[in-house]
Amino acid sequence: MLRCRDFHFALDRPLVMGIVNVTTDSFSDGGHYLEETRAIDHGLRLREEGADLVDVGGESTRPGAEPVALAEELRRILPVVRALSREGVAVSVDTQKPEVMRAAIEAGCVMVNDVNGFRAPGAVAAVAGTGAGACVMHMQGIPASMQAAPAYADVVAEVAAFLRSRAAVLEAAGVARDAIVVDPGFGFGKSRDHNVELFRNLSAIAAIGYPVLAGVSRKRMIGDFTGREVGGRMAGSVAAALLAVQNGASLVRVHDVGETVDAMKIWMALGGGR
- Binding region for ligand HH2 (CB under 6 A): 19, 21, 23, 26-28, 57, 60-62, 94, 113, 115, 135, 137, 183, 185-186, 213, 215, 253
Active site residue 219: yes
Min separation Cβ 70 and ligand HH2, Å: 17
Residue placing its CB nearer to ligand HH2 in the complex, 61 or 140: 61
Residue placing its CB nearer to ligand HH2 in the complex, 186 or 210: 186
Min separation Cβ 233 and ligand HH2, Å: 11
Residue placing its CB nearer to ligand HH2 in the complex, 148 or 266: 148
Min separation Cβ 157 and ligand HH2, Å: 20
Pairwise CA distance, residues 203 & 197, whole Å: 11
Min separation Cβ 147 and ligand HH2, Å: 12
Contact 109, 132 (CB under 8 A): yes
Tell me the residue number closest to ligand HH2, measured at CB: 215
Residue placing its CB nearer to ligand HH2 in the complex, 86 or 224: 224
Q: Which of 47, 190, 219, 233 is catalytic?
A: 219
Q: Sort 2 into a burial class: Cβ within 10 Å, 0-12 / 13-18 / 19+.
A: buried
Pairwise CA distance, residues 270 & 49, whole Å: 21
Q: Which of 47, 190, 218, 253 is catalytic?
A: 253
The residues that are catalytic are 219, 253
